[in-house]
């Protein structure tokens, strides 16, 4: 034990600690180090001649793990920290598993065992795969655009097997939105690649994570399918990244560590000099723009012959609605009736859980709010609870107003899926109705049960939230009713319009597959809105062009850069005063605007008051560098939190 090393440790704001290491240890080696009374994995970052810490205080490392981080991994860590304005110890936490234990002996799988069961490709798929494989030895981002049913997965399989066969020891990462990492979603993929698939998501146990981490590190794991955090696995020889549903907002981690896995994946592909496929039927505005600018290569997959036919989309102007029901228009109800008569399935989509989003007192206007969040309590009538959708807070449905103590004055305002179910059952009392939300799928076994019910034709009317928009294919479903298309229209969030368009497009696509052409009824109070008109004409180009021009004129991303700084604290004055102080020391720079602080749109969450500062700059300005040097002047008191979000999706 003679050498001194600076070791990267997975501790926020500590980043590096000095230790004594054995002679045979090298830079980039993974090591086990004692910290206080714990042991953690770290990476030897540099070898030092002397330490600032007195030599007698330096502890020797506990162990060499026998593996080292690749040089690219190290660059990736640095760049992720720099881009997101994280201390590097925070990035190390993303990369290093919590449990230390010597790995079992790991046996490497031979190439020939890896692939079976690949379906032959059609002409369009063949062309796409060929184009992608042109870039197999270099960095290239490829936008693979294709509607549901165009067979993107077969293209993935083909490209993956080609690359795995050609490059011994290479590893491939397929990222999926968390919601698609369910048993059924994976069945097809596992069939093609057998037992050699490694699946990584938030549900696997810490011990499984540790094993998989070592299997990726040793090179045994060749094909890894995972949610966003799989991007931080210690690949030794990554040769391809695929981001499925690249537009999906779940790639943007908003809580705790804030980063965008899709963008970090592009960064990693660039560092590794490998191709990355960004696949979607409704790509994000920034990806489309990158393709238009020639930064990304665009590959289009034609819809399969005999595949989905685009449904007939009808806009229902709710200002003209004469129906007795406030939320279900005459036109939609007639269409439902006609479909039921033909024994076809109907889906009603409303992105709002529960019975009613607000409970109000008619006498004194008291509104039931969460105790620790600044949000309304949502009535869940079946559960007999008023619930906060932002924290665990819930109370039994009250009989008396908490404000004026009067009885029988409380009214449920607005609809949620439960209320739509109630109305539908009143109108179509013979119909078999099933309501699904994320809450109904607590166990994965339930998931299969519901799915089978729908497929076995035991359901006439399916009511649900956005979880119905993704993935599944219901052959008998020929009518989709969007109850309230205006949820998400007219908001000021940066990606509000884009998300709404993508969601409504996806939901519409549920109607009519195979032989029968589908119908979609979209209920709205804004029939002239550009999102609604683009959907009506089945014209995504129209939406994209108009959204791009809105962003350009309002100088919003991708035509400008944004970062948000969120300051939270349990005492309002402390948080607000500190936020003001932060803004007051912002360096003045003509290319940068510092806006705020303002009380955030959810001004209190889980007992913490929230203040937001928005930083906006020109497109080519290094906003990270600016913010880092600004915040270096400030010490955040321990009773407050400060979180930077580079390229935020939410700015309110």
- Smallest distance, Å, CB 644 to DNA? 12
User: Considering only residues 349-388, where is the footprint of DNA by CB under 7 A?
Assistant: none
User: Considering the complex, what minimum distance in angstroms separates the CB of residue 58 from DNA?
Assistant: 4
60 near 21, Cβ under 8 Å?
A: yes
Establish if 2 lies at the interface with DNA (CB under 7 A).
no
| By the rule CB under 7 A, 257 interacts with DNA | no
| CA 628 to the chain's CA centroid | 26
Q: Does position 110 bind DNA by CB under 7 A?
A: no
Contact of 372 with 607, CB cutoff 8 Å: yes
Q: At closest approach, how far in Å is the CB of 87 from DNA?
A: 8
Q: How far is the CB of 652 from DNA (least distance, A)?
A: 24
> Quick check: 404 and 363 in contact, CB under 8 A?
yes
Judged by CB under 7 A, the stretch of 313-321, 445-453, 560-568, 632-640 that binds DNA is: 632-640
Residue placing its CB nearer to DNA in the complex, 57 or 343: 57
35 lines the binding site for DNA (CB under 7 A): yes
Q: Give helix 183-193 / helix 152-166 axis angle, nearest 10°.
A: 40
Stretch binding DNA (CB under 7 A), from 5-13, 158-166, 329-337, 623-631: 5-13
Print the binding letters for residues 472-501 with DNA: x by CB under 7 A, - otherwise: ------------------------------
Taking CB under 7 A as the binding criterion, the range among 15-23, 135-143, 165-173, 268-276 that sits at the site for DNA is 15-23
- Nearer to DNA by Cβ, of 50 and 341: the residue is 50
Q: Is the peptide bond before 562 cis (omega within 30 degrees of 0)?
A: no
Give least dist CB 150 to DNA, A.
44
Q: How far apart are CA 282 and CA 607, in angstroms?
A: 37
Residue number, 51 or 196, with CB nearest to DNA = 51
Burial class of residue 172 in the structure, from the number of CB atoms within 10 Å of its CB (0-12 exposed, 13-18 middle, 19+ buried) = buried
Nearer CB in complex with DNA: 203/607: 607
Is residue 36 a contact point for DNA (CB under 7 A)?
A: yes
Beta bridge partners of 641: 568
12 vs 196 by CB, closer to DNA: 12
Q: How far is the CB of 140 from DNA (least distance, A)?
A: 37
Nearer Cβ to DNA, position 278 or 582?
582
Q: How far is the CB of 10 from DNA (least distance, A)?
A: 9
Nearer to DNA, 55 or 183 (CB): 55
Q: Closest separation between CB of residue 90 and DNA, Å?
A: 8
- Write down the least CB distance from residue 41 to DNA, Å: 14
Task: Out of 8, 17, 313, 373, name the contact with DNA by CB under 7 A.
Answer: 17
Q: Which stretch binds DNA (CB under 7 A): 11-19, 70-78, 332-340, 533-541?
A: 11-19
d(Cα 463, Cα 561) in Å, to the nearest integer? 39
In order, the DSSP letters of 349-360 are: E-S--SSBSEEE
Q: Which is nearer to DNA, 587 or 637 (CB)?
A: 637
**Residues of this chain, 59-98, that bind DNA according to CB under 7 A:** 59
User: What does the chain come to in residues?
Assistant: 652
By CB under 7 A, how many residues form the interface with DNA?
19
Q: Is the peptide bond before 576 cis (omega within 30 degrees of 0)?
A: no
Report how far apart, in Å, the C-alpha atoms of 629 and of each of 15, 16, 580, 588 are. Answer: 18, 20, 18, 12
Task: From 29-37, 396-404, 456-464, 610-618, give the range in contact with DNA by CB under 7 A.
Answer: 29-37
| Sequence-ordered list of residues with C-beta below 8 angstroms from that of 111, at least 6 positions apart, any chain | 164, 165, 168
Q: At closest approach, how far in Å is the CB of 372 from DNA?
A: 14
Helix/strand/coil (H/E/C) assignment for every residue in 25-58: CCCCEEEEEEECCEEEEEEEEEEECCCCCCHHHC
Where do the H-state alpha helices sit in 245-374?
261-272, 285-292, 330-341
| Only segment of 52-60, 73-81, 229-237, 613-621 that touches DNA (CB under 7 A) | 52-60
Q: For residues 589 and 639, which CB has a smaller minimum distance to DNA in the complex? A: 639
Distances 408 to 99, 385, 400 between C-alpha atoms, Å: 56, 17, 7
- Minimum distance, C-beta of residue 208 to DNA, in the bound complex (Å): 21
Q: 486 with 316: CB under 8 angstroms?
A: no
> Would you count residue 641 as binding DNA (CB under 7 A)?
yes
Of 41 and 480, nearer to DNA (C-beta) is 41
Does the footprint of DNA cover residue 3 (CB under 7 A)?
no
Residue closer to DNA (CB basis): 12 or 440? 12
Closest to DNA by CB, 38 vs 322, is 38
Q: According to CB under 7 A, which one of 134, 408, 473, 639 is a site residue for DNA?
A: 639
Q: Taking CB under 7 A as the rule, does residue 584 contact DNA?
A: no
> What DSSP character marks residue 231?
G
The pairs formed by 16-25 with CB atoms below 8 angstroms and a separation of 24 or more are: 16/45, 16/89, 17/42, 18/48, 18/51, 18/52, 18/53, 18/58, 19/58, 19/59, 19/60, 19/61, 20/58, 20/59, 20/60, 20/61, 21/47, 21/60, 21/61, 22/61, 22/64, 24/64, 25/61, 25/64
Q: 523: part of which helix (H) or strand (E)?
A: strand 519-524
Cβ neighbourhood burial of 407 (10 Å; 0-12, 13-18, 19+)? exposed
Taking CB under 7 A as the criterion, the residue among 3, 27, 28, 58 binding DNA is: 58
- 14 is a contact residue toward DNA (CB under 7 A): yes
Q: In this structure, how many other beta carbons lie within 10 angstroms of the beta carbon of residue 56?
A: 5
- Sole binder of DNA in the list 3, 28, 34, 236 (CB under 7 A): 34
Instruction: Please report the sign of the dihedral spanned by the C-alpha atoms of residue 524, residue 525, residue 527, residue 533.
Output: negative
- What are φ and ψ of residue 550, in 5° steps? -60, -45
SS3 of 572-583: the string is: HHHHHHHHHHHH
| Least gap, CB of 249 to DNA (angstroms) | 25
What is the smallest separation between the CB atom of 570 and DNA, expressed in angstroms? 8
Q: Among 53, 71, 106, 108, which residue interacts with DNA (rule: CB under 7 A)? A: 53
Mask for 592-631, x = binds DNA (CB under 7 A):
----------------------------------------
Q: Is 11 in the site for DNA (CB under 7 A)?
A: yes
Smallest separation (angstroms) from DNA to the CB of 597: 20
Q: Interface with DNA by CB under 7 A: which range of 55-63, 462-470, 577-585, 623-631?
A: 55-63
Q: Are 523 and 318 in contact (CB under 8 A)?
A: yes
Angle between helices 71-84 and 261-272 in degrees, nearest 10: 140
Q: Which stretch binds DNA (CB under 7 A): 136-144, 273-281, 605-613, 636-644?
A: 636-644
**Number of neighbours of residue 366 by Cβ within 10 angstroms:** 18
The answer to whether residue 637 forms part of the interface with DNA (CB under 7 A) is yes
Residues that bind DNA (CB under 7 A): 11-14, 17-19, 34-36, 51, 53, 57-59, 637-639, 641
């Amino acid at each position: 034990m003679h050498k001194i090393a600076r070791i990267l440790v997975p501790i926020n704001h500590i980043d590096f600690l000095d230790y004594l290491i054995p002679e045979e240890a090298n830079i980039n080696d993974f090591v086990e180090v004692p910290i206080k009374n714990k042991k953690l994995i770290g990476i030897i970052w540099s070898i030092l001649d002397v330490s600032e810490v007195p030599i007698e205080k330096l502890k020797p490392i506990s162990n060499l793990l026998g593996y080292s981080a690749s040089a690219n991994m190290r660059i990736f860590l640095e760049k992720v920290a720099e881009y997101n304005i994280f201390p590097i110890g925070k990035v190390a936490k993303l990369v290093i598993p919590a449990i230390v234990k010597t790995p079992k002996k790991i046996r490497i799988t031979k190439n020939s065992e890896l692939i079976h069961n690949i379906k032959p490709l059609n002409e369009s798929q063949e062309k796409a795969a060929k184009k992608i494989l042109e870039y197999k030895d270099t960095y290239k981002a490829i936008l693979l655009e294709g509607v549901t049913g165009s067979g993107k997965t077969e293209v993935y399989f083909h490209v993956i097997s080609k690359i795995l066969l050609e490059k011994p020891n290479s590893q491939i990462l397929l990222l999926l939105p968390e919601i698609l990492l369910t048993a059924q979603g994976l069945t097809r993929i596992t069939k093609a690649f057998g037992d050699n698939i490694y699946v990584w998501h938030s549900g696997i146990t810490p011990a499984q994570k540790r094993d998989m981490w070592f299997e990726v590190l040793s090179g045994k794991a060749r094909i890894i399918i995972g949610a966003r955090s799989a991007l931080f696995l210690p690949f030794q020889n990554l040769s391809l990244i695929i981001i499925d549903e690249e537009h999906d907002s779940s790639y943007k981690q908003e809580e705790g560590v804030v980063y965008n896995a899709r963008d970090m994946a592009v960064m990693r592909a660039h560092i590794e000099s490998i191709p990355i496929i960004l696949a979607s039927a409704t790509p994000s505005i920034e990806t489309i723009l990158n393709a238009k600018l020639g930064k990304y290569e665009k590959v289009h997959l034609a819809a399969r012959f005999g595949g989905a036919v685009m449904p007939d989309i009808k806009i229902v102007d709710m200002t003209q609605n004469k129906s007795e029901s406030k939320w279900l228009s005459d036109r939609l109800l007639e269409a439902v009736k006609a479909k039921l008569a033909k024994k076809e399935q109907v889906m009603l989509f409303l992105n709002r859980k529960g019975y009613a989003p607000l409970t109000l007192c008619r006498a004194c206007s008291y509104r039931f709010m969460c105790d620790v969040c600044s949000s309304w309590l949502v009535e869940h009538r079946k559960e007999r609870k008023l619930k906060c959708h932002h924290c665990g807070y819930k109370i039994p449905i009250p009989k008396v107003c908490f404000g004026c103590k009067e009885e029988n004055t409380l009214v449920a305002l607005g609809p949620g899926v439960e209320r739509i179910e109630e109305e539908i059952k009143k109108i179509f009392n013979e119909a078999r109705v099933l309501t699904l939300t994320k809450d109904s799928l607590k166990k994965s076994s339930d998931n299969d049960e519901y799915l089978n019910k729908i497929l076995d034709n035991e359901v006439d009317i399916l009511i649900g939230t956005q979880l119905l928009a993704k993935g599944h294919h219901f052959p008998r479903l020929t009518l989709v009713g969007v109850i309230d298309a205006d949820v998400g229209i007219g908001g000021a969030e940066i990606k509000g319009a884009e998300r709404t368009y993508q969601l409504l497009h996806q939901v519409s696509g549920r109607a009519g597959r195979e032989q029968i052409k589908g119908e979609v009824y979209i209920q709205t109070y804004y029939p002239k809105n550009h999102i609604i008109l683009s959907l009506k004409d089945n014209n995504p180009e129209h939406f994209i062009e108009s959204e791009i021009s809105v962003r350009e004129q309002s100088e919003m991303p991708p035509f400008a850069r944004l970062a948000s700084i969120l300051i939270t604290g349990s005492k309002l004055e402390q948080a607000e005063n500190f936020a003001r102080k932060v803004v007051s020391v912002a360096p003045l720079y003509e290319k940068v605007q510092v806006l705020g602080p303002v009380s955030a749109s959810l001004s209190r969450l889980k007992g913490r008051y929230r203040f937001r500062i928005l930083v906006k700059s020109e497109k080519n300005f290094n906003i990270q560098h600016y913010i880092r040097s600004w915040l270096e002047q400030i010490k955040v008191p321990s009773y407050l939190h400060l979180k930077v979000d580079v390229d935020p999706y939410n700015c309110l």
